[in-house]
């Protein structure tokens, strides 16, 4: 379920925004105190089984003395799935109140491996500067530094930012490129809009959703990683995710939400 925390993002905005604009953006989708929870399901030998839970919490905090949003995303597999694949992930990010990425950390235990990725952001000289840190499964540390003339994101900061994008005017098959950083690389990725569908969540309610596909570049082609369905309203809450994993397939369904900023107009009968 590695890809669950990657992508809950939507876009109608050129991510290659010139860094002289300091990569700022508006936020009209969430507020401090938002809490989202999910049930995870895993397809095991053609049977869908409850695999665990996930939750995301966003709160206004501070980063290096400045006001910022802090978001954390946690995924937990249950004991039944531990026999097949151990999943213990915790992600953390800081974003300025103007949605500039400031910091990202991912601690991931997947199977027998445990790794830590960090990305530190700064903006100067018309550049987006990142310092990347990885601790591999053997405890070895690696560091890299890079500067770009465009904005760079990680899997969690792009989620915060993309929820405020305006989907009006999207057409089926519309693509947008996204550069995503982790502890030792910056990789091309893209989102593709695939229309609207009605989706039933695990809270028993049904929502009108935008369907989007997240793809990562693999060689000369893009590999389909996840389809996700976000509420077709100003909140853009992820309601369901269909994940295509190396070890099978998985789904996540919304269970509960608290502290939502805007009216939930995507709710249908």
pLDDT in tens, 28-44: 999 999 999 999 998 87
Q: What is the 3-state secondary structure (H, E, C) of the chain?
A: CCCHHHCCCCCCCCCCCEHHHCCCCCCCCCCCCEEEEEEEEEEECCEEEEEEEEEEEEEEEEECCEEEEEEEEEEEECHHHHCCCCEEEEEEEEEECCCCEEEEEEEEEECCEEEEEEEEEEEECCEEEEEEEEECCCCCEEEEEEEECECCECCCHHHHHHCCCCCCCCCCCCEEEEEEECCCCEEEEEEEEEEEEEEECCCCCEEEEEEEEEEEEECCEEEEEEEEEEECCCCCCEEEEEEEECCEEEEEEEEEEECCCCCCCCEEC
Asked if residue 255 has pLDDT above 60, the reply is: yes
Query: What is the structure's pLDDT at 10?
Result: 34
Beta bridge partners of 175: 192
pLDDT band of residue 16 (cuts 50, 70, 90) is very low
Which stretch of 19-23, 118-122, 156-160, 239-243 has the lowest confidence by average pLDDT?
Answer: 19-23
Pairwise CA distance, residues 136 & 163, whole Å? 31
Asked if residue 138 has pLDDT above 80, the reply is: yes
Q: Give me the mean pLDDT over the 166-192 stretch.
A: 91
Per residue in 191-239, pLDDT tens?
899 999 999 999 999 999 999 888 888 888 999 888 889 999 999 999 9
Query: What is the structure's pLDDT at 112?
Result: 72
Pairwise CA distance, residues 194 & 267, whole Å? 20
Query: What residues make up the domain containing 100?
Result: 4-268
pLDDT band of residue 178 (cuts 50, 70, 90) is confident
Query: What is the structure's pLDDT at 1?
Result: 43
Query: What is the structure's pLDDT at 3?
Result: 44
List b or e across 224-249, with b for residues whose CB sees 16 or more CB atoms inside 10 angstroms. Answer: ebbbbbbbbbbbbbbbbbebebeeee
Count of Cβ atoms closer than 10 Å to residue 145 Cβ: 9
Query: What is the structure's pLDDT at 247?
Result: 67
Query: What is the structure's pLDDT at 154?
Result: 92
* Higher-scoring residue by pLDDT: 3, 60: 60
Q: Give me the mean pLDDT over the 168-181 stretch.
A: 91
Is residue 94 packed enough to be buried (19+ CB in 10 Å), middle (13-18) or exposed (0-12)? buried
Query: What is the structure's pLDDT at 5?
Result: 41
Q: Give me the mean pLDDT over the 9-18 stretch.
A: 39
Per residue in 94-114, pLDDT tens?
999 999 999 999 997 766 778
Q: How many domains does the chain have?
A: 1
Residue with tokens 């509960």: 256
């Amino acid at each position: 379920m590695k890809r669950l925390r990657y992508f809950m993002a939507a876009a109608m905005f050129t991510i290659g925004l010139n860094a002289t604009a300091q990569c700022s953006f508006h936020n009209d989708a969430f507020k401090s105190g938002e809490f989202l929870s999910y049930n995870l399901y895993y397809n095991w030998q053609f049977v869908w089984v409850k695999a665990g839970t996930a939750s995301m919490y966003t709160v206004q905090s501070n980063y290096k003395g400045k006001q910022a949003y802090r978001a954390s995303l946690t995924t937990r597999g249950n004991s039944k799935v531990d026999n097949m694949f151990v999943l213990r992930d915790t992600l953390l990010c800081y974003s300025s109140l103007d949605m500039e990425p400031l910091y990202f950390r991912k601690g991931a235990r997947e199977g027998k491996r445990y790794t830590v990725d960090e990305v530190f952001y700064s903006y100067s000289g018309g550049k987006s500067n990142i310092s990347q840190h990885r601790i591999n499964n053997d405890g070895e540390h690696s560091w890299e530094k890079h500067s770009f003339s465009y904005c760079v994101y990680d899997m969690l900061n792009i989620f915060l930012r993309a929820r405020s994008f305006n989907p009006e005017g999207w057409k089926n098959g519309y693509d947008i490129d996204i550069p995503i950083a982790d502890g030792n690389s910056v990789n091309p990725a893209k989102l593709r809009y695939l229309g609207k569908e009605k989706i039933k969540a695990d809270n028993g309610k049904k929502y009108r959703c935008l369907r989007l596909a997240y793809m990562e570049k693999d060689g000369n082609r893009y590999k389909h990683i996840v389809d996700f369905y976000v509420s077709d309203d100003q909140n853009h809450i992820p309601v369901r995710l269909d994940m295509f994993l190396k070890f099978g397939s998985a789904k996540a369904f919304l269970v509960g939400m608290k502290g939502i900023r805007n009216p939930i107009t995507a709710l249908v009968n």
